[in-house]
Amino acid sequence: MKKTILAMLLTAVMAVSLAACGGSGNSTSSDPFIYGLAGEITDFDPFSSGGTANSRTITFNIFEGLVKVSTDGSVQPAVAEAVEKNEDATVYTFTLREGVKFHNGNAVTMDDVLYSIQKAIDAGTAGYNEIASFEAADDRTLVVTLNKTDTGFLDYFTQAIVPAGSDDNGEMVLAPIGTGPYKFQEYELQDHVTLVKFDDYWGEGGTLTEIVVKFLADQNAQLTNFQSGAIDGFGGYGEMGEQINEENATIIQTLSNMSQVLALNNSVEPFTDVKVRQAIAYAVDSQDVLDTVNFGIGQVVGSPVPPALTKYYMPELEDYYHKDNDKARALLEEAGYKDGLTFTVRIPSNYPVHVHCAEKIASQLEEVGITMQIEQIDWGTWLENVYKGRDYQATMISVDGATVSPTAFLARYVSDSKSNFMNFNSPAYDEAYNRALAATDEAEQIAAFKEAQQIIADECAGVFIEDIGSLTIYTREYEGYKSYPLTAMDFTAVKKIAEK
């Protein structure tokens, strides 16, 4: 008996050591492109989690809507080849493109489109509550009627088109079928997702034949995996660029298209007083944060709307609260905090970049006698207590937009918005925002959105710091990146330029 166990143990040891000594590479010429993602994607449901930033790394390549976002932020036809809207932007008419196929080989039909819209409505997808009716005029013509004017409605129609009946029991969650340039092949839980090129794609697809998205624990794991050669590329923050040897890598700098904000809870002391909020804004030096924490990669902002939304972006707000300790002290004194004040900022611990920025900001605030204590909490707790429960003094976060529309970034500042986690309350803002929504004239609309942003800045809803620079890093064998005004990874842009 003892000998048998011993023999088994020895065999195990030998097997392992043999394996460990064996050759590590059985690389073939068609090695997949391996992209390292900090985090994991747990499902591919386009009607729920497909909207989160991480999921979009994958779902952006699998699914398409009737329209899709282009790199300049405008929407372009996709599954629909044309779209028209009536004068007051209440009726949208789509013409379906011919020859669009699903990954299962079937052609896209009107049934599929109607099914997908109904799914999105049922799932409570943003914007779909504006739909009064939708119907097929003929096999290729879809008419969507809204219950109010919305010139930006098309942004919502980037929502995926899936085969009719394909998601009746939530099948999409683990086996997505779309019309995009890459089709889903394999998902290994907490490890990777494999995508392969969809040969019947209607448009110009990518050049990579196989893509593996590897789920990694955090940015440290991304760096290690990249240095070891386990991944060919990854996306990270500016602060990670310093640790990459540029000789062995292609580093592409873009923006993350969301404004990092030191969010101050407008209905909790001491931030009920606009003077205190402004004092903090004056005490914070965003450029300094950008330079020291993110090595200058990124752009200072002064509004929730990121620079990528060029039409609505207001560069004049970038330095609206120019660093001025004297003004900050004066405002504090006026507000009755002559001897300084102390508050706590609760930051989700899964975002080290916010923690690092907060550390820098804390030292800046110290100069005017403000003590900012940093408390790290886990993401689930943050969502529940801070974001939903609004139980916090201050927090630090970058909120991304689900669509490339100013509403995606500004809607949450409306007083009675369910996602107004900063408790911003300004009747003037509400009026300007609603005026923008109702406007049918584009210039008029842009002016109203800018006015709304100006109010956010004047009232100092929070301290907007920067649109954090994002880096896309490849090994020397790859190049190509398409930057969209929302967080997404478009694998069709990536090209292999050399062999290992």
Regarding 3 and contact with other proteins (CB under 8 A), the answer is no
Q: What are the structure tokens assigned to 112, written together?
A: 């599929």
Regarding 379 and contact with other proteins (CB under 8 A), the answer is yes
Shortest distance, CB of residue 18 to other proteins, whole angstroms? 8
- Residue number, 96 or 154, with CB nearest to other proteins: 154
Position among 42, 118, 287, 483 found at the interface with other proteins (CB under 8 A): 42
- Residue number, 45 or 318, with CB nearest to other proteins: 45
Shortest distance, CB of residue 218 to other proteins, whole angstroms? 9
- The answer to whether 456 and 424 are in contact (CB under 8 A) is yes
| β-bridge mates for residue 67, sequence order | 77
Regarding 500 and contact with other proteins (CB under 8 A), the answer is no
Query: Which one of 20-28, 307-315, 447-455, 473-481 is the stretch in contact with other proteins (CB under 8 A)?
Result: 20-28
H or E element: which one contains 437? helix 427-438
Match 């990459």 to its residue by tokens.
244
Residues whose CB is less than 8 angstroms from the CB of residue 381 and which lie 6 or more positions away in sequence, other chains included? none
Shortest distance, CB of residue 342 to other proteins, whole angstroms? 24
Ramachandran category for residue 295: left, alpha or beta (phi over 0 → left; psi -120 to 50 → alpha): left
DSSP assigned state of 175? S
The interface with other proteins within residues 396-415 (CB under 8 A) comprises 397, 399-402, 408
Regarding 152 and contact with other proteins (CB under 8 A), the answer is no
Q: Is 17 exposed, middle or buried (CB count within 10 Å of its CB: 0-12, 13-18, 19+)?
A: exposed
Match 């996306």 to its residue by tokens.
235
DSSP assigned state of 383? I
Position among 204, 228, 242, 245 found at the interface with other proteins (CB under 8 A): 228
- The answer to whether 162 and 179 are in contact (CB under 8 A) is no
Match 């800018």 to its residue by tokens.
450
Q: Give the relative orientation of helices 352-366 and 286-293 as an angle to the nearest 10 degrees.
A: 130
Regarding 376 and contact with other proteins (CB under 8 A), the answer is no
Number of residues binding to other proteins, judged by CB under 8 A:
64
- Residue number, 312 or 351, with CB nearest to other proteins: 351
* Other Cβ atoms closer than 10 A to 254: 18
Report the C-alpha gap between 395 and 374 in whole angstroms. 9
Residues whose CB is less than 8 angstroms from the CB of residue 251 and which lie 6 or more positions away in sequence, other chains included? 241, 244, 471, 472, 473
Position among 145, 149, 224, 287 found at the interface with other proteins (CB under 8 A): 224
The interface with other proteins within residues 450-489 (CB under 8 A) comprises none
Regarding 387 and contact with other proteins (CB under 8 A), the answer is yes
Q: What is the DSSP string of 279-348?
A: HHHHH--HHHHHHHHSTT-EEE-SSSS-TTSTTT--GGGTTTT---HHHHHHHHHHTT-TT-EEEEEEEE
Shortest distance, CB of residue 301 to other proteins, whole angstroms? 18
Query: Which one of 39-47, 246-254, 286-294, 441-449 is the stretch in contact with other proteins (CB under 8 A)?
Result: 39-47
Regarding 24 and contact with other proteins (CB under 8 A), the answer is yes
Regarding 170 and contact with other proteins (CB under 8 A), the answer is yes
Regarding 385 and contact with other proteins (CB under 8 A), the answer is yes
Report the C-alpha gap between 223 and 216 in whole angstroms. 10
Shortest distance, CB of residue 221 to other proteins, whole angstroms? 6
Position among 4, 28, 30, 129 found at the interface with other proteins (CB under 8 A): 129
Regarding 147 and contact with other proteins (CB under 8 A), the answer is no
Regarding 49 and contact with other proteins (CB under 8 A), the answer is yes
- Residue number, 365 or 414, with CB nearest to other proteins: 414
Report the C-alpha gap between 48 and 453 in whole angstroms. 29
Whether the CA torsion 203, 207, 209, 213 is positive or negative: it is negative
Position among 177, 231, 255, 372 found at the interface with other proteins (CB under 8 A): 231
Position among 111, 122, 269, 333 found at the interface with other proteins (CB under 8 A): 122
Position among 227, 292, 376, 420 found at the interface with other proteins (CB under 8 A): 227
Torsion angles phi and psi, residue 392, rounded to 5 = -170, 165
Nearest to 68 by CA among 497, 488, 493: 488
Position among 98, 384, 441, 444 found at the interface with other proteins (CB under 8 A): 384
The interface with other proteins within residues 176-215 (CB under 8 A) comprises 188-191, 214-215
- The answer to whether 195 and 189 are in contact (CB under 8 A) is no
- The answer to whether 67 and 83 are in contact (CB under 8 A) is yes
Regarding 52 and contact with other proteins (CB under 8 A), the answer is yes
Regarding 48 and contact with other proteins (CB under 8 A), the answer is yes
Nearest to 174 by CA among 186, 190, 160, 162: 186
Could you list the residues that contact other proteins (CB under 8 A)? 9, 12-13, 15-20, 22, 24, 36, 40, 42-43, 48-49, 51-53, 122-126, 129, 170, 173-174, 188-191, 214-217, 220-221, 224-225, 227-231, 378-381, 383-385, 387-389, 397, 399-402, 408, 418-419
